């Protein structure tokens, strides 16, 4: 149930990219004791936005991972911050399409499922990064290890 009082100012949903409107006042903290209400209300002050700190919400479906970032995004927009909501797959697409990106990995693309455990997210990321991209395989022989062995042998 929403707190009594005037309706909160609502930013244009399309401008921020929110899929729906969610409000902190509507979040049921009693339903998920893992989420500290004081921590969320502190985040709503937007200090983390002003300092450029990241925010990660990790958990299973139905635990608040969508509701809370949307509600915090609305709070940030109401505080005058520019807000953009996007999904991880869309973010990868936007990063790759907006600018040149260089990525280094110890894993071959086949091993990226260890990082991107969702196979569709992994495939989408690899697809976007490799399309018309330059791929350089640097091999398996470590320069630093070889250099250290040379120094130790002398």
pTM of the model: 0.60
Record the tokens describing residue 133, joined without a space.
């991209």
| Each residue's pLDDT tens digit, 15-24 | 678 888 899 9
CB 73 within 8 A of CB 85: yes
SS3 content of the chain, % helix, strand, coil (to 5): 45, 0, 55
Whether residue 114 contacts residue 107, with contact meaning beta carbons closer than 8 Å, is answered with yes
pLDDT tens column, 115-147: 888 888 888 888 877 877 777 776 676 767 888
Average pLDDT over the chain, rounded to whole? 79
Q: What is the pLDDT of residue 154?
A: 78
Q: Which residue has the higher pLDDT, 23 or 94?
A: 23
**Measured between alpha carbons, how far is 67 from 69 in angstroms, rounded to an integer?**
6
């Amino acid at each position: 149930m929403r707190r009594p009082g005037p309706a909160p100012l609502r930013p244009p949903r399309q401008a921020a990219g929110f899929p729906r409107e969610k409000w902190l006042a509507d979040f049921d903290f009693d339903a998920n004791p893992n989420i500290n209400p004081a921590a969320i209300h502190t985040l709503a002050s937007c200090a983390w936005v002003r300092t450029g700190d990241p925010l990660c919400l990790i958990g299973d479906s139905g635990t608040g991972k969508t509701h809370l970032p949307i509600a915090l995004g609305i709070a940030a927009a109401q505080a005058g911050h520019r807000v953009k909501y996007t999904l991880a797959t869309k973010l990868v697409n936007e990063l790759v399409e907006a600018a040149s990106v260089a990525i280094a990995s110890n894993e071959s693309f086949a091993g990226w499922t260890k990082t991107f455990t969702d196979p569709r997210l992994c495939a989408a990321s690899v697809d976007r990064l490799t399309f018309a991209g330059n791929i350089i395989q640097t091999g398996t022989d470590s320069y630093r290890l070889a250099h250290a062995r040379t120094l130790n042998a002398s």
